[in-house]
Amino acid sequence: MPVTTCIFDAYGTLFDVTAAARQAAAEPGRGLLAENWQKLAAHWRTKQLQYTWIRALAGTHANFWTVTQQALDWALEAMELHGDPELRERLLALYWELAAFPEVPGMLKALKIAGRQTAILSNGSPDMLRGAVESAGIGDVLDDVLSVESVGIFKPHPSVYDLVGKRFGCKREQVLFVSSNGWDAAAASGYGFTAAWVNRAGEPVDRLPWQPAHVLSDLSGIPDLAGRL
């Protein structure tokens, strides 16, 4: 059954989650951050993901903006940068306008030209996602932006993936799901989507009950892949 609908994770997949720390580090007077921004960005992202998993398991949902702030607070303390409230506010402000990866606009446009439906399915809260989409200028090549806030639990809970069929009326095998998170791509594969993992860092495949059907180094090959499925 051919793919009719291409669904994308947002953070780390379409939007570069390291961009906020990188941009802040390049600003005047950020010498200490300039030396350590990669480590701060990695801590921030790791804790952000861990907090979503823990909250989902414990049944203590909070919106993604709350999780993002709490993860940053942990990262700043771990890097001994927590005594600078202005830096915290600057990093959070930059997170609302994360840069999209360079190939994203052209890739989404190619999918739309081919007649495929496109959407984001993200842990992000609606206002955060709206800000990122507007900042990246990709709203015109997306049919929708779906947030876990409508079900009140983070990925990889199956109710999140259910949102795709409810919105687009498609069967699971008609969906190409794309994520830079190996665990997300694996869970989507287990759900019944055709999953592509964007493995930008060249990491090993996660040891989970399922595996993504396709592994790519970036998003540029997605239109061709969708056309072959």
Domains and CATH numbers, the chain: 5-15+99-228 (3.40.50.1000), 19-95 (1.10.150.240)
How far CA 152 is from CA of 133, 212, 213, in Å, comes to 22, 25, 28
- Return the pLDDT at 1: 78
- Return the pLDDT at 220: 97
- Return the pLDDT at 24: 92
Average pLDDT for 79-100: 91
Q: Which of 9, 140, 206, 224 is catalytic?
A: 9
Answer whether residue 217 shows pLDDT above 90: yes
Burial 3-20 (b: 16+ CB within 10 A, else e): bbbbbbbbbbbbbbbbbb
Give the rounded distance of the alpha carbon of 228 from its chain centre: 24
Flag the least confident range among 80-94, 109-123, 131-145, 165-179.
80-94
Answer whether residue 197 shows pLDDT above 80: yes
Count of CB atoms situated within 10 Å of the CB of 227: 13
Compute the mean pLDDT over every residue in the chain, rounded to the nearest whole number: 96
- Return the pLDDT at 83: 77
- Return the pLDDT at 228: 94
pLDDT digits (tens, 9 = 90+) for 17-58: 999 999 999 999 887 888 899 999 999 999 999 999 999 999
- Return the pLDDT at 32: 82
Average pLDDT for 163-187: 97
Average pLDDT for 83-100: 92
Average pLDDT for 157-182: 97
Residues making up the chain, counted from first to last: 229
- Return the pLDDT at 164: 98
Which two structure tokens, joined as six digits, stand for 79?
Answer: 């890097």
- Return the pLDDT at 59: 96
- Return the pLDDT at 212: 97
User: Cβ(156)–Cβ(187) under 8 Å?
Assistant: yes
- Return the pLDDT at 33: 87
Average pLDDT for 58-77: 97
73 is catalytic: no
